[in-house]
Amino acid sequence: MILVDGSLGEGGGQVLRTSLALALVTGKPFRIVNIRAGRKQPGLLRQHLTAVRAAAEVGGGRVTGDALRSCELAFEPGPVRPGRYEFAVGTAGSATLVFQTVLPALATAPGPSELVLRGGTHNPWAPPLDFLQQAFLPVLARMGPEVTVNLVRPGFYPAGGGEFHVSIRPAALAPLVLLERGEVLSRRARALVAGLPAHIAERELKVVRGKLGWPPEALVFEPIDGTFGPGNVLMLEIRCEHVTEVFTGFGQLNVRAETVAARAVDEARRWLASGVPVGEHLADQLLVPLALAGGKFRTVRPSGHAETNLAVIRQFVDVDASCTEIGCDVWEVEVQPA
């Protein structure tokens, strides 16, 4: 049984999720200690517990230690079982992270699957559903699996209440090579506001126009039903020939709309200036598929999150991985099964 230290790197939930995902795919059991030791509230929160139980259901696995606040658990996977599943976090905890936990196994399973997930879809501590739809899943499709997502309703922090449906058509993973992004084809800024004043979106979009020079037709205000609680998110979508990237700013209490927008704009400007196809967050998402199939991509300087992810991957899969700086804020990441 593989022993995983949950305090590795940033000591967050990614260590657990990557371990669960790779245990399902490889069939290797593991025991994890010090779960989320680097967080203010260590141990399993609702979204992590939901991910554990989702992995156990999909893989017919056995789990011990699966309780709220637990800092240690053991997971023994069985064979992956495609089918129809419903997973509910029950809070604003990210349902997208639960989806990410079971996706690698179901994307390579012997049959198709349908998922219904409920919980947070847009919160500051996880990739929003739009990022998965527009940036990650199209790249995964280049490797074989076809995954479509339908948003029923968004769920913002702290209320949650979001829901989305997923259809997975699995396939054997093919290697990925993504070194160029090509010409920029379109740009769009979407300011989503639920149960909050419209001027929040207007101020965010004003910052985008001023700092990026995008035309008025590229700036979109989307009022959302606030029945399930207030929320705000700004998403900058840049579609290129070979990849689409999404950069996000989340509205937060006591944080000005201008600050929220400026953070997203700064991230987008860094990516545009680098010339690489893969942004910081997409790079992190691609590491598990590459560990299973091989490939390489160019990105900005890999984050500590990505380095932690690679360290966990090496415990489950024998890979040769390298991150090489080849220019100013240009890195080439290559991962090959040994």
Residue 195 · residue 231 · CB < 8 Å: yes
Q: State the catalytic residues.
A: 305
**127: preceding bond cis by omega (within 30 degrees):** no
Distance CA(73)–CA(34), nearest Å, equals: 9
Angle between helices 257-274 and 199-212 (to 10 degrees): 30
* Radius of gyration in angstroms for the set of CA atoms belonging to the chain, rounded to a whole number: 19
Residue 266 · residue 248 · CB < 8 Å: no
Categorise residue 160: left if φ over 0, alpha if ψ from -120 to 50, beta otherwise.
left
Per residue in 151-190, is it b (16+ CB within 10 Å) or e — as a string? eeebbbbebbbbbbebebebeebebbebeebeeeeebbbb
271: three-class secondary structure by DSSP: helix
- CB-count exposure of residue 321 (10 Å: 0-12, 13-18, 19+): middle
230: three-class secondary structure by DSSP: coil
Q: Which residues pair with 239 in a beta bridge?
A: 186, 244
Distance CA(64)–CA(160), nearest Å, equals: 28
131: three-class secondary structure by DSSP: helix
* CA distances (Å), origin 170, targets 100, 103, 104, 193, 279: 15, 10, 9, 35, 25
